[in-house]
Structure formats: structure tokens, C-alpha cells
Amino acid sequence: MFLSAIIISLLVLGFKINQYLSPVNVHSSAGRVNILILGIGGKGHAGGDLTDTMIFVSVSLNRPSVVFVSLPRDIWIPSIRAKINSAYYWGGFALAKSTTEEVVGQPIDYALVMDFSGFTKIIDVLGGVQVNIERSFVDEEYPIAGKENDTCGGDPQLRCRYETVSFAKGLTVMDGETALKFARSRYAKGDEGTDLARAARQEKIIQAVKNKLLSKDFFLSPKKIIAVWQAVRESVQTDLGNNALAILAGRILMGRNNIVQTTLPEELLVNPPISPTYDNQYVFVPQNGNWDKVHEWISSLFN
């Protein structure tokens, strides 16, 4: 979901780029620039520095095309004996990049991190987004920001820390807060309660935001462009310099009609029984005991 905001920042910069800027000063490998997008809860949210969203982005420098792959946050990384979503918490961009490289089999050149506040502001500036909800679901344990340590007056179930959110099948327009809940929900009963379903919902938000960005309503509104850019600047941290951002903006703009958006396929992962091997946590591990098949699948997307 946070990728949407990053796309916006690149598009906004794209209005200012010089079309003759050379990509020579941009880090790349085999003609591609690979970026790791991280979404965090930030201040006021439980696990504020855990990456709630992780998306691998690969931009081609040779032809106009972009690949986006959402990664489940529950992937187990033996080298840090933890889930991949804790890598940024423990080691910042450096560890987040290196652990993701293990999974995707590609070098990560840059990283960006954004918190929830920026995400909701950007959706609201765009006037909301329209999303097609494929399956109705109810989540009775959606965490309320700021209530993480509330004792709930002695309630042993700590129900005051959570609210119930529900979504009905069909087209609906979501404001920033609603879109955030739709993308973050983790404890719905049934098929929508899995990490993979959650990643798929995030892809829907990304698509909806992209549609808004490419509309005349956005491009012809300097006020909206400035408001979006301010929201991005306030909530994004990155190791991308302005020149690199501008160059990538141009590449993404040129490749906007050749974008692949997908999630890591379920058949390449295994959800093993909860056990001490994985610190008694719900995790995903590679189907064949290594990431070779995932590496092959990622490479196939570039073609």
C-alpha cells in the first residue's frame, strides 16, 4: 500500500525532471534499478518500526517497464532468526536490503520507508480511491492506535485495544483511514485472514491509487500535486538522492503502460507448523528449502 505514495513522489518529481538526465549516476545491475519499499506504523502504533508492508520494485533502464512484487511480512529469515518484517527494526536499510536480497535473488540498490500518517494523507488529498472488494470480511481485532498499553479496566481479553472493521463485497470508495484498515487487516475469519490475502488487498490499493494518479483530475490540479508532495516529504525516508529520484521518475512515467504488479505466489511458499524452530511463530519458508525457485520466478518477470 505504501508503494502508492512512493509512486506519487516520483511522479511529482517527474514534472521537474530534465529529459536528458543520464542514468549513469544511478546504482543499477544488469540494466535494472531495484528498490525496496517499506511501510511502517510509526509513532502511536504497536510495533511501529516493524515493516507492515514490503514491496520489491525493479525499474528497467533499457526499456519502459516496471515490476512490483509484494512480499509477505511473515517470511522467516534464518540468518537473523526472525521474520523479514523485523529486519528494518534491527538493522535499518542495510539489514532490510540484505535479507530481502536473500529472498528475491536480486541486488537491492535503494530503499524507502514511509509511515501510516503519510499514506492516509495522500489518499485523502486524492479524494479517496475506488476499490473492488472481491470478498466480504469482518476483522474483530483491528488494533486501535494509541491503545497498545491500555489495561482496559482489568478486562483480561483487553478488548478496548481493538475495534471491529468490516468490508462488503463490491465497488466502494475509501478515504485514507478506510484504505489503511482494508490493507492492514490481519485477523479476519476465513480466506481474508492470511498474510497472502492481505498482500493482495494492498495490491488493490496500489492499483486504485495509480488510477487516480493517471487521471486528469490529479495532473491538472497544482494544489493537489503540492499537497501530495508535502505529505510525501513529511513521511518518507530514503537513501535515494534527488537526481536518482528524478531519473527514476522519468523511467516510471515512460513505463506506466508496462507495469507488472503481483505478489509472491503461494505455491512457492510453505507455512510450517508452529514450533520452537521458528520461535513458535506463524511463518513462511521456501517450498523446496531454498529460494532458488523464487529467484527464477522473479527473473521471469523481467521478460
Does a structural domain hold residue 141? no
Q: Is 172 helix (H, G, I), strand (E, B) or coil?
A: strand
Does a structural domain hold residue 156? no
Predicted confidence at residue 84, as pLDDT, reads 95
Burial class (CB in 10 A: 0-12, 13-18, 19+), 171: exposed
CB neighbour burial string for 64-97, b if at least 16 within 10 angstroms, e if fewer: bbbbbbbbbbbbbbeebebbbbbbbbeeebebbb
Predicted confidence at residue 32, as pLDDT, reads 93
Does a structural domain hold residue 104? yes
pLDDT (mean) for 142-155: 88
Does a structural domain hold residue 21? yes
Predicted confidence at residue 131, as pLDDT, reads 93
Q: Tell me the pLDDT band of 111, cut-offs 50, 70 and 90.
A: very high
Task: Give the Cα separation of 80 and 89 in Å (integer).
Answer: 12
Domain count, the chain: 1
Predicted confidence at residue 23, as pLDDT, reads 52
Locate 190 and state its grid cell. 476465513
8 Å CB contact between 99 and 108:
no
Measured in whole angstroms, how far is the alpha carbon of residue 282 from the centre of its chain? 20
**Among the listed residues 123, 98, 105, 237, the one whose alpha carbon sits nearest the alpha carbon of residue 174:** 123
Does a structural domain hold residue 181? no
- The residue assigned the cell 463485497 is 169
**Among the listed residues 36, 53, 109, 106, the one whose alpha carbon sits nearest the alpha carbon of residue 291:** 106
Q: Is 229 helix (H, G, I), strand (E, B) or coil?
A: helix
Report long-range pairs for 298-302 (Cβ below 8 Å, ≥24 apart): 298/56, 298/69, 298/104, 298/105, 298/106, 299/105, 299/106, 301/58, 301/67, 301/69, 301/260, 301/262, 302/32, 302/58, 302/60, 302/67
Does a structural domain hold residue 197? no
Question: In this predicted model, what pLDDT tens digit does every residue of 7-33 receive, in sequence order?
Answer: 544 544 444 433 444 455 688 888 999
Contacts of 53 (CB under 8 A, 6+ apart): 1, 2, 3, 37, 38, 39, 70, 73, 183, 202
Provide the domain limits for residue 38.
Answer: 3-126+212-301
Q: Is 37 helix (H, G, I), strand (E, B) or coil?
A: strand
Does a structural domain hold residue 37? yes
Question: In this predicted model, what pLDDT tens digit does every residue of 38-72 receive, in sequence order?
Answer: 988 755 545 556 887 889 999 998 888 899 998 98
Predicted confidence at residue 35, as pLDDT, reads 94
Predicted confidence at residue 20, as pLDDT, reads 40
- Alpha helix stretches (DSSP H) within the chain: 3-14, 87-104, 116-125, 176-184, 195-213, 216-219, 222-235, 242-254, 292-301
CATH number for the domain harbouring residue 236? 3.40.630.190
Does a structural domain hold residue 159? no
Predicted confidence at residue 1, as pLDDT, reads 42
